[in-house]
Chains A and B, each alone.
Chain A
């Protein structure tokens, strides 16, 4: 048993729902109690989808448990087929149904439905949402691409002369972080490289599309969390090349173009030479000097976190002070990346651990999920969201990809936006006694928010309630903390609020390391000198 306040991932059947909801003609019959129908709102409220996800829940109740829950399941399958006429049926259990062991797969297969049934075994007490999505996608791909697989060991026929190379784009799903726009961006980029797209899956695909997956010569795996397993199987079965470069940021996109061009035997030098993103120039322009060495903490799914670290360090000139993921399945990749930046990797799905880490590191910018946005807000640190789990705000009306050259522009804007502008920061330092530069002064372009935040969306009244103390007291005060003299306290108050927390902590650490009981103005400046070495 473990304690969870917020979770980064839902249960694995929610991953399966994301696949079903991505596709055009698949229906999912889920053996589950009524409360599990909450998952519909993820799609209809968060992603604002216009249709309910294609899911039928059996909604068994306690009184059914002694009776015929299997019969209930079969009736639900029959009803779902009659009503929705899908091309294929996914069947499986939620956490509760797993315990009553009705075997949905066996039951549905025994019904002789006129459509293929794909049974899902998603161990709910062991696995989580992304695993469930990956497993479901893999099962579907195997079920429908499998029949056209060549005999094992068959070499792939070379592309016919005069034909453009073709690829599949794998991994985008419903509820993915900006997947909709990433697909548009990458399809267009591939077109400019000279590669045609055979199938995009699961987002927008039909069962018939899955059956055609083998026709492409390579698979672009945009989101390995969802498509990694399926792509590995496709690679083995059809001799397809897997493109692993993640086109996030300018470097990532260039690496992606180079990998595709190499795999397809195309020349991409012209495309690579053209500066298609504004990010490189914006980063070099003098106004961006103030971004230099900004301390940034990064947390998210592995793909986005690793890519964000590279963009932060190499494209914006930030200093990566923390890097982590909740996706344990990708722990190795994140550890390698963390080693590159010389930071301790944080592999955890415990929100409180992440909060404690952010409080300890006191970064100047947090790049994370909606959870980290919440943490950052509480700690008064600017934040931008880079990864699922998603929130309604992560489905902007405007075109806003994370991938490709336009994606790089979006990253520059959204990460820099929450920060103080360069000259503004200096003015605050110089005129800190000016009454308008009081504690609550936020970056001037961010409206009236009392603390910097990524978006001005009003939080409902309850969110600002002071009734509930934090579950995790942020960095508990060690006993015997040195005391501040009133003068020192006053001087501290003149330090702009966005660095004041750090100054306070550093000074206290400096003082207690030296066994000082009182912090004077002198101590404050001594500490400043000490830490600025």
Chain B
């Protein structure tokens, strides 16, 4: 790192941490046990309230959505799958005509839809169904009433949260051009509405703004972007989106991610500094919520301090989470698995990890399970397929997907985030059977 992180200037630094930016990253190849990018639709369709996600895929894709969603929600969805069948493959039906027919039917049924995503899958990619052309064709018919865009959530191209990255990247070309002199702060990455509102208030107090969000709550509220745009990534998995925004002139503010009290402070500080907010004003703005966060964290720290934690790769949130667990809860990360490591976006985070942290990029699930059994962590963070089997072996787990679905960002959620790790342990403490 050749520039000091804002965190180091504005926030008290945890003593034991010396940074592992130069530390070793192990790459592993083998069977992965991670969802594909389609899964992002489960939260994106709730976030953008007038968008519909039409997966062009197989029965497997439809079943994935239902199974992954079924565990968590069973409300009427704004997503569906156009299932490719043998007629399409045999050339008996023209896949493009079929798609047009289904989309026409869908739009007639859902007049509330303003934005339609055609979402590519492994089968649509392998048969080279050109969804970008299909989207353009449908868009020329349906816009301005309904905009039609496309992206890929396929498992051969994307893991889990990369689906959100691909979706947001598809929105970038639709964003209006902001004038070069119009300075604005763009928060990138889906956040819960309560969290958005908290950040809005904090930025307002500091005098940072105007603040816009990608994705917006409604398609028509897509913010503008230009050379005056400064972006803060709210999620660590947005490589493509950030790159597209940069080509539109936006500049990324290097920052840790807003997880935990210190992460949130550093994240806000990056914007405050860019806007030249006086130190005192920044401190005043964050003082009260920092105090609340500290109280909330202390309650959980008592149970979690000294616990050893093992992360299986899932959402790319693993590194910021490990940093939070180490720095703010006194936990020891034994292994930090991540499906993909974006060194630049995670530079601030890596610098804050305990020295010598073991980071594993990619996955060989069997070997990783062996290491986990060997290490006997106090808690393992893993996907839904692994959780019960690990519990049955006596290893306490936290489902990583809950960390993606729960509002965990910001000061007022720091305690909730710690609670997600503390609850499985306190459950173990209580149960006598």
Contact = CB atoms under 8 A, between A and B. Distances in A.
Interface of A: 1-7, 9-11, 13-14, 33-42, 44-46, 48-52, 56-62, 65, 76, 79, 83, 94-96, 99-100, 123-126, 128, 370, 374, 378, 391-392, 459-460, 462-465, 467-473
B64 A35 contact: yes
B98 interface: yes
Of listed B74, B88, B101, B389, residue having the most chain A CB within 10 A: B74
B66 A95 contact: no
B31 A57 contact: yes
Given A1-B102, A2-B85, A37-B34, A469 B76 contact: yes
Contacts of A57: 31-32
A57 B33 CA distance: 9
B60 A36 contact: yes
Contacts of A60: 156
B62 A35 contact: no
- For the complex of A and B, the 6 pairs showing the least CB-CB separation, nearest first, are A35-B36, A35-B155, A40-B385, A33-B155, A50-B392, A1-B98
B13 interface: no
A124 B67 contact: no
Contact of B75 (A39, A94, A391, A463): A463
A509 B31 CA distance: 59
B179 to A, nearest CB: 34
A9 B122 CA distance: 20
Interface in B94-129: 95, 98-99, 101-102, 105-106, 109-110, 112, 122-123, 125-127
Nearest to B81: A4
B300 interface: no
A42 B67 contact: yes
Contacts, number: 211
Contact of B123 (A41, A51, A96, A392): A96
Given A35-B64, A37-B385, A99-B126, A462 B36 contact: no
Interface residues of B, number: 71
Interface in B194-234: none
Given A14-B60, A38-B68, A48-B388, 4 more contacts: A14-B63, A34-B32, A96-B60, A460-B72
A124 B59 contact: yes
Contact of A99 (B34, B64, B127): B127
B306 interface: no
Given A44-B385, A469-B112, A62 B156 contact: yes
Nearest to B82: A1
A45 B69 CA distance: 12
Interface in B20-38: 30-38
A96 B384 contact: no
B366 A79 contact: yes
A1 B67 contact: no
A295 to B, nearest CB: 25
Given A1-B98, A126-B86, A468-B75, A7 B63 contact: yes
Contact of B60 (A3, A11, A470, A473): A11
A10 B60 contact: yes
Nearest to B88: A1
Nearest to A128: B59
Interface string B21-59: 000000000111111111100000010010000001011
Residue of A37, A123, A378, A467 ringed by the most chain B CB atoms within 10 A: A37
B66 A1 contact: no
B31 A56 contact: yes
Given A1-B95, A38-B385, A58 B74 contact: no
A93 to B, nearest CB: 11
Interface of B: 30-39, 46, 49, 56, 58-64, 66-68, 70-78, 80-86, 88-89, 93, 95, 98-99, 101-102, 105-106, 109-110, 112, 122-123, 125-127, 154-157, 159, 366, 383-389, 392
A4 B154 CA distance: 18
B85 A126 contact: yes
Contact of B389 (A2, A44, A58): A44
A45 B71 contact: yes
Given A4-B83, A469-B112, A125 B89 contact: yes
Contact of B156 (A13, A38, A65): A65
Nearest to A44: B388
30 contacts: A1-B82, A1-B88, A1-B101, A3-B82, A7-B63, A9-B59, A10-B60, A11-B59, A33-B156, A34-B159, A35-B61, A38-B39, A39-B67, A40-B33, A40-B385, A41-B383, A45-B385, A45-B388, A49-B388, A50-B388, A99-B89, A123-B86, A378-B76, A460-B73, A463-B73, A468-B77, A468-B78, A471-B76, A471-B109, A471-B110
Contacts of B101: 1
A99 B121 CA distance: 13
A224 B77 CA distance: 33
Contact of A6 (B66, B85, B388): B66
A127 B421 CA distance: 42
A7 B62 contact: yes
Contacts of B387: 44-45
A13 B63 CA distance: 12
Contacts of A10: 59-60, 63, 67
A96 B156 contact: yes
B49 A3 contact: no
Nearest to A1: B98
A45 B384 contact: yes
Given A95-B59, A391-B70, A462-B46, A83 B384 contact: no
Given A1-B102, A60-B156, A65-B126, A52 B70 contact: no
Contact of B392 (A2, A51, A100, A464): A51
Nearest to A462: B73
A4 B122 CA distance: 17
A185 to B, nearest CB: 26
A468 to B, nearest CB: 5
Contacts of A468: 75-78
Contacts of B49: 467
Contact of B74 (A83, A99, A125, A374): A374
B99 A1 contact: yes
Contacts of A35: 34-39, 61, 64, 122, 154-155
Contacts of B384: 40-41, 44-45
Contact of A470 (B76, B157, B389): B76
A276 B102 CA distance: 53
Given A3-B80, A5-B80, A33-B156, A96 B385 contact: no
A125 B84 CA distance: 7
Nearest to A7: B62
B219 to A, nearest CB: 14
B32 A124 contact: no
A465 B82 contact: no
